[in-house]
Amino acid sequence: MTAADGEGSGRLVWITGASSGIGAALAQAMAAAGWRVAASARGADALAGLAAAVPAIRPYPLDIADGAACEAAVARIEAELGPIDVAVLNAGTHLPMGAADFDAERFAALVEVNLLGTARSLAPVMRRMIARGRGRIAVVASVAGYSGLPTAAAYGATKAALVNMAEALRPELAAAGVTLQLVSPGFVRTPLTDRNPFPMPFLMPVDVAARRLLRGLEGGRFEIVFPRRLAWALKLLRILPYRLYFPLVRMATGVGRQR
C-alpha cells in the first residue's frame, strides 16, 4: 500500500468524519506521513480550518445521510485529485440509550448515520476500486459492536451491523484485489466520549489512536483494534455463556443490580 519506508508518497486517502476526533487526528497524521488527504464531514468550518492548517488536506463537506451527495463527493474527489487509494469510513455519532429512555426515532437516527451513512459512503468508492482492481477500505466500527452493553442499545447495534457487513464483504473484495479492514476503537478521548458520564477504562489520547490506526492501514490484518486490553476483555466476554455474561456485565457496569 505504501512505499518501503511506510510513508504515503503522495497517495490519496479519503477520510469521512474528519472534522474532529479520530478522523481529524488521522487526517493530520497521514498528511504528515506524505499522504494527500481528502477530508469530509458535515462541519464545513472545521474542515476549512483543518485544511488551512495543513496544506495536504483538501476539504470536501459532506452529509453521509445523503446518498446522492456521497456519490457526488467521490466523483468530485477523483476528478480533482485522482483515484482514491484508501478510504477510511469513520463518520458516525453516539446517543446513549438504555431501557428507560429507549426511543425508536433516536434509534433510527443512529441507524441512519452510523449504518446507512457508512453504506452510502462505501458504495461509490467500493464500486470504483473493484473496477480498478485495487484499493483499501477501512470501515470504522467499535468494540461496542462485540456484544450488548448497557446504554448502548442503539449505538452498539449499528456497530455490530458494520462488523457483520465488513466480514461479509471481505472475501469478495479480496478476490477483486481490494483490501477491506475493520477498525474497532475502544474508548478514545474525543468530543463524543466527552459526553460519557461514566469512567472509561483504558481511555486513549486521540493522537495515539490515530497513529495506531495509520499503522494498521499499513498492514494486512482484517481488524485494527485499540486499545488491545479492552478489546480482548470484550472479545472474551462475548464468547461466555449468558449465565456468566450478564452477571459480569452487571458487576462491571453496575447496571441491573437490585436495589
Q: Which residues are identified as catalytic? A: 155
Grid coordinates representing 23 are 478522523
Amino acid at 183: V
What is the DSSP code string of the chain?
---TTS--TT-EEEEESTTSHHHHHHHHHHHHTT-EEEEE-S-HHHHHHHHHH-TTEEE----TT-HHHHHHHHHHHHHHH---SEEEE-------B-STT--HHHHHHHIIIIIIIHHHHHHHHHHHHHHHT--EEEEE--GGGSS--TTBTTHHHHHHHHHHHHHHHHHHHHHTT-EEEEEEE--B-STTGGG--S--TT-B-HHHHHHHHHHHHTS--SEEEESHHHHHHHHHHHTS-HHHHHHHHHHHH-TT---
How many Å from the N-terminal Cα to the C-terminal Cα in the chain? Answer: 55
Which of 15, 18, 186, 150 minimizes the C-alpha distance to 88?
15
Which of 218, 131, 220, 137 minimizes the C-alpha distance to 176?
131
